């Protein structure tokens, strides 16, 4: 869990997955694990994105609704707009969560 929170490689748990805010390292800078195994690899990250995004959006809706007392639909629209701030972070973490989930199911051995 600590490696996921810090966006680290699922194999060595120390190499950075992200090079910048929106650019990934192709292989892990520490152990050389290739993050994108095949074309379409990140399709699974969309499921992780949904699983991460829905609770964040639900908490935003609840917070706006309780803090303002507005009609629920108004709170939902405002929370949707506020959610746009969180989208880049949800996207980044969805890829990291997908990497770790995939590694858990199908680990790639270290090539010598």
Residue 48 located in a structural domain = yes
Output the CA–CA distances (angstroms, integers) from residue 32 to 12, 17, 20, 42, in the order listed. 9, 11, 18, 19
pLDDT at residue number 76: 96
Would you state the pLDDT for residue 108? 76
Within a domain: 84: yes
Within a domain: 112: no
Cα–Cα distance measured from residue 9 to residue 99, given in angstroms and rounded to the nearest whole number: 8
Number of domains composing the chain: 1
pLDDT number for residue 37: 86
Query: Would you say residue 79 lies in a domain?
Result: yes
In terms of residue numbers, what domain contains 72? 2-105
Q: What is the mean pLDDT of each run of 10 residues along the chain (112 residues)?
A: 94 94 92 90 93 96 96 96 96 96 86 56
pTM of the model: 0.84
């Amino acid at each position: 869990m600590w490696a996921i929170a810090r966006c680290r490689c699922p194999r060595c748990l120390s190499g950075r997955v992200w090079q910048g805010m929106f650019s990934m390292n192709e292989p892990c800078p520490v152990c050389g694990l290739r993050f994108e195994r095949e074309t379409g690899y990140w399709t699974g990250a969309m499921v992780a994105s949904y699983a991460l995004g829905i609770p964040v959006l639900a908490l935003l809706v609840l917070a706006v609704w309780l803090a303002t007392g507005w009609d629920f639909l108004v709170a939902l629209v405002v929370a949707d707009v506020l959610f746009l701030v969180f989208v880049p972070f949800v996207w980044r973490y969805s890829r990291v969560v997908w990497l770790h989930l995939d590694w858990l199911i199908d680990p790639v051995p270290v090539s010598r």
